Amino acid sequence: MKTALELRGIVKKFPHTVALDNVDFDLRYGEIHALLGENGAGKTTLVNIISGVYSADSGEIYLDGKRIVISSPRDAQKLGIVSVSQHPILVDSLTVLENLALALDMSPRDRKFVNELRKVIEGFGIRIDLGKRVWQLSASEKARVEIVKALLRDGKVYIFDEPTSLVGLKDRLTILRVMRQLKDSGKAVLFITHRVDEVFEIADRVTVLRKGKKILTKNVNEVSKSELLEAMFGKSLTDTDVRSMSRKERSSRRGEILIVDDLYVKDDTGRLKVKNISLKVYEGEILGIIGPADSGQRELMEAIARLRDVERGRIVIAGKEVTRLKSSDVRRLGVAYIPDDRLSTGSALTLSVKENLIMRDLDLYSTRLGFYKYDNDRLRSMLLKVGLPEDILDVPCADLSGGMIQRVILARELLNRDVRLVLASYPTQGLDHETTKLVHDMFILLRDKGCSILFTSEDLDEILALSDRIIVMTDGKVVYESDRRDVDVNELREMLA
C-alpha cells in the first residue's frame, strides 16, 4: 500500500513536559492505523501537529512523498487532512444544519449543499436531526455531527481522535463502521484510542506511544494484547489488574443515605427524561446504573446533585429532604459530584490546577476577610494521591490531557472534605487503563470506609466488577434491579442488547 502521510523525528515541548520525543510515524492508504497510549502519552499532541493546531519544534512531515508545512487547521484541510475531534467544536445556539454549513462556508439554504449532506448521511447510515439546536444534543449526537462534518470534506487522510470514548454502544459501532467504509474506499484512517480491544476489532497496524516516545509499530495480527498493554504502561498488565475488584458481600442492609421517590425530570429541551424513578442507596455500598445512552442518566444525576430542577418527586440525602435545595447545600451534606463532561462542566480549563482544586470548596480556603489562602502543601499532597506530579499546581487545566483533568476532578471531589455520598456520571469514560484502575480503587476504598457511591456506566464489565447492586435504566425508567450476587449476566446482556 502507498504511504499517505509520514512523520519523521517529531519533537514537541511544553513548559513542563516533553510531549513528543523524536517520534516517527507513517500512515498508508487503504488502512486503519491505530495510535495507542495511556492518557498523557502524546497521542493528542501528535494529532494536533498533523491537524495544524500545533507546530512541531523539530521534525518533518510528508504527504504523498512531498514534504509539507502545516501552519494551521485550514492548511491541513486544504491538503486533504480531515480530523474528527473527540470534543466536537460546534456553536450551541445554531442548528445542526447551520453548524455543518458554517463549517464548510456554505449557506444552509443552498440546495446543492443540502442534497450532498443528505447523500452523506444516507450513504454512511448516520442518524442525525438537522433541525435540532446543538445545545439540545446529547454527547453521542454531537459526535455524529462531528463525523458528518468530516465526511463532507472528502479528504485523503481521516484522523479519528478517540471518537468512541464519549458515546454509547450503538454510536461506537456506527463510528467503527464509518472508518471501515473509508478504508474500503481507499482513504487513509488514523484511529487514536486507549482501548486495546478496539485495536484488534478494527485496525490493520498499531503504534504505541508512552511518555512522548514511540515504543512499537506492528501489524495487529502479529501482536498480543499483553504485549500492547506492556508497551503502553511499561509493565505487564492483565485484564484482572484492570477489571477484577474485591467486593465485600453484604449480609444485611445498613442505613439509607439516599432516597429518590417517584422522580420526574426534564432535559434542556423540555422533554421528560426521568419518569417515575424510585431508588435507594445504602451506607457503604456501590450502586451501579447501566442502560442505553441518553436514557435519562445525566438528568437523574444532575437532579440528585441539585443542578437540575425536579418536576415531581422527592430526593432525601442523609435524612434531609433536598428536592428544592441548591447544589451548595447538598455539597455541605457530604455529597461529591463527578460530572460526565469533564471539560465543560467538571473543570475550568482557563484556570490553573490549583484554582480548580479549590473552586467548589472556597469556604475551606477563605480567610475571615474573604481572601483565598492556598494551602500548597495540602494541594500537592492531593495531587500525589491521584498520581499527578506535584509541580503542576500553576499549570492551566487546558494544558493537561483528559485523563489528567479527571484526576484533578477526583482530587477535588474526593479529597477536599469528608464524603458521605459520591455521584459519578461515567467516571471512567474516555480514560486509559491506569486512570480507570485509580478511579475503581478510590471508589472501593471509600466504600469500605462507609461512603456510598451511585455511578453510571455503559461498560457492563465495570458495572459487574464494582457494583454491590445494579440498576438498568431505559427510556427514563428503572426496568431492572438486582443485588450483584443474584445477577444473571446473560439475561443482563440480552436486556442491554
The pLDDT value given to residue 369: 57
Averaged pLDDT, 448-464? 91
pLDDT above 90 covers a percentage of the chain that reads 63
- On whether both 67 and 87 belong to a single domain, the answer is yes
Question: What pLDDT, on a 0 to 100 scale, did the predictor assign at position 166?
Answer: 66
pLDDT > 50? residue 245: no
Q: Which of residues 358 and 322 earns the better pLDDT score?
A: 322
Looking at the fold, whether 295 and 376 belong to one and the same domain comes out as no
Whether residues 80 and 224 fall in one domain: yes
| Whether residue 103 sits in one domain with residue 77 | yes
Per the CB < 8 A criterion, the answer to whether 456 and 286 are in contact is: no
Residues 224 and 161 in one domain: yes
pLDDT score of 173: 86
Between vectors from CA 39 to CA 23 and to CA 361, what angle results, nearest 5°? 140
Q: How many domains in the chain? A: 3
Which amino acid, 133?
Answer: R
pTM: 0.65
Q: Which of 369, 397, 417 is the last residue of a domain?
A: 417
What one-letter code names the amino acid at 33?
H
In a domain, 330, yes or no: yes
Sheet holding 17-28, edge to edge: 17-28, 3-14, 58-63, 66-68
Same structural domain for residues 47 and 122?
yes
| pLDDT of 295 above 70 | yes
d(CA 355, CA 315): 31
Higher-pLDDT residue of 286 and 492 is 286
Which comes out higher in pLDDT, residue 162 or 66?
66
| 110, 13: one domain | yes
Residue 46 above 60 pLDDT?
A: yes
State yes or no: pLDDT of 322 exceeds 70. Answer: yes
300-339 residues labelled b (16+ CB within 10 A) or e (exposed)? bbbbbbbbbebeebebbbbeeebbeeebeebbeebbbbbb
The domain containing residue 410 runs over which residues? 348-417
Higher pLDDT, 303 or 374: 303
* Shared domain check, 155 and 59: yes
- Do 291 and 320 lie in one domain? The reply is yes
Residue-wise pLDDT for 161-172, tens only, equals 888 876 767 788
Q: Which of 55, 5, 52, 432 is nearest to 189 (CA)?
A: 5
Q: Based on the domain organization, do 153 and 284 belong to the same domain? A: no
Show the cell assigned to 371: 481572601
What pLDDT score was predicted for residue 248?
Answer: 47
Residues 423 and 481 in one domain: yes
Of 460, 457, 455, the closest CA to residue 442 belongs to 455
